Amino acid sequence: MSSALPVTPPAEPHCPVLLDEVLDALAIAPGERHVDGTFGAGGYSRAMAARGARVFAIDQDPDAIAEGQGVIAASDGAITLVHGNFAQMDALLSDAGIDAVDGVTLDIGVSSMQLDRERRGFAFRFPDAPLDMRMSQSGETAAEFLNRVDEGELADILYIYGEERQSRRVARAIVAARPLATTGDLVGAVHRAIGKRPGDKTDPATKTFQAIRIFLNGELDALERGLDAAEAVLKPGGRLAVVTFHSLEDRIVKNFLRVRSGQEGSGSRHRPEARSRKAPTFHKPARAVRPGDAELATNPRARSATLRSAVRTDAPAMTSRTGDGR
């Protein structure tokens, strides 16, 4: 097999974050099989294929699937794209006749494509956008959810998923502003609750948008299940690379790798020994990587990104997975 498959994609609409660092962590050898669990605009998949990988790419967004067909055609068979959620990657791989892979890559959170499209309702810079926020474009919209949720439950969601300290005040203002239909309606409610100063570096509505998006799409649960699935499908020596964009995501990945590599700690008289008796399924993780000044200068959206990676051992997976990916 040639050292690299020809991949000549069209100009990409965004720059994949920490691309070189992800590729270094994956250490792709020609002919290896890799999973890109969050295809998006295909930036990681194209780069992986250019290194000689056969890429099984997954995305839950119908827009990504439809618009990715040009990338697939240009890959000359190097990339296969399927519609689904990376939380079920083991089931999706099984359906495709694949039992194990050499690498798994996950780029967690909302994509640049979703943020930049007004009709998707993810960004508050488009005040007339429909309040949607659905990554899969199915199920309940953000507007439908906000117009029916109990105020107390909403306050808890804002606190847990957005780390919004004034969650009760914001929830009260959102309920008072019903019915909400646009992103501008939601931004206005937040601003009325906690204000907005001209010098603010970030909009006060940022945490509220984050919380609602994460809750509505079940993102943290999907991440936990996706990490379990990655553990199940990776071969001994296989590489896992995960890029996160805020502390809630990063904490899940960090804790997963700590437990799976047997690094939990020795406990104390106040806290019993936490170390698993099972053999570690990953070697000690590499040090976390964050964007350098050069990348931040060309791609400001990378500023909160963190890459964590680790190599699979030959121990059996710690989590038992069923055929439906749970």
Q: What confidence tens digit (pLDDT) does each residue in 22-67 have?
A: 999 999 999 999 999 999 999 999 999 999 999 999 999 999 999 9
**What is the pTM for the complete model shown?**
0.89
Distance CA 282, CA 257 (A): 7
295-298 long-range contacts, Cβ below 8 Å, gap at least 24?
A: 295/17, 295/18, 298/15
Q: What pLDDT score does 125 carry?
A: 82
Q: What pLDDT score does 265 carry?
A: 54
Q: Is the model's pLDDT at 101 over the cut of 80?
A: yes
| Residue 195: Cβ-neighbour burial (10 angstroms; 0-12, 13-18, 19+) | exposed
Q: Is the model's pLDDT at 153 over the cut of 60?
A: yes
List pLDDT tens digits, range 185-203.
999 999 999 998 877 788 9
Mean of pLDDT values over 232-237: 98
Q: What pLDDT score does 247 carry?
A: 94
Left (φ > 0), alpha (ψ -120 to 50) or beta: where does 252 sit? Answer: alpha
Instruction: List domains and CATH numbers for the chain.
Output: 19-113+219-311 (3.40.50.150), 120-217 (1.10.150.170)
Least confident of 137-151, 254-268, 307-321: 254-268
Query: Is the omega angle on the peptide bond into residue 179 within 30 degrees of 0, that is, cis?
Result: yes
Instruction: Give the pairing type, strands 306-311 and 54-59.
Output: unpaired
Q: What is the mean pLDDT of the chain?
A: 90
